[in-house]
Each structure stands twice: as C-alpha cells, then as structure tokens.
Structure 1
C-alpha cells in the first residue's frame, strides 16, 4: 500500500472522527494514530527506543 493511500485513509478516519465525534474524538484518533505509527516503526526496526533519548554526552560531542 502506498504512502498516499495510507495518508488518505488516515485523513478520512480523522475527518469522520471530527464530524461524528467532535473535537475531542478527533484529538483522540490523532493521538492514538501517532502512537500506533511509532509502535509500528519500532516493530519494523525503522526506529530504535534510544532514538527518543538524547544524552548530554551526545549533545556535548555535537557542539564541538
């Protein structure tokens, strides 16, 4: 499935949630979709759990 089709489906889901459930349902679907995206990327191996943690040592090394 192409990224455009996935984006279309996600947009339609958000649209339906916003229309039928209101703003809070829209926000809930948006947040849960983002959580699902991160979880899927972690399972596929595109992301590592350490990608979300920035260590001070790494920042100090980059500044040089």
Structure 2
C-alpha cells in the first residue's frame, strides 16, 4: 500500500472523527495514529528504542 493511500485513509479517519465526535475525538484519533505509527516503525525495525533516550551531546556526534 502506498504512502499516499495510507495518508488518505488517515485523513479520512481524522475527518470523520472531527465531524461526528468533535475536536476531542479528532485529537484522540490523531494521538492514537501517531502512537500506532511509532509502534509500527519499531516493529518493522526502522526505529530503535534507544533513539528516544540519547542525550543532546550524543546527537551532535
């Protein structure tokens, strides 16, 4: 599935949540989508847990 199709589906889900559930539902769907994206990247191996815990000095190297 292409990124454009995934983006369209995510946009439609956010639109429906905003229309039927209000702004709170919109934020909830957006937050859960972001969490799902990070977990998916982690499970695919594109992301390492240690990437979130590096110090500022470590990033500059």
Q: TM-score, normalised by structure 1?
A: 0.87
RMSD: 1.5
Structure with bigger gyration radius? 1
Counterpart-to-counterpart distance in 2, 1:29 and 1:41 = 18
Tell me the equivalent position of 1:19.
19
Moved over 2 A (4+): none
The Cα of 1:35 is off from its aligned counterpart by: 0.3
Tell me the equivalent position of 1:36.
36
Q: Unaligned 5+ residue runs, structure 2?
A: none
Q: Unaligned 5+ residue runs, structure 1?
A: none
Q: TM-score, normalised by structure 2?
A: 0.91
State the number of aligned residues. 61
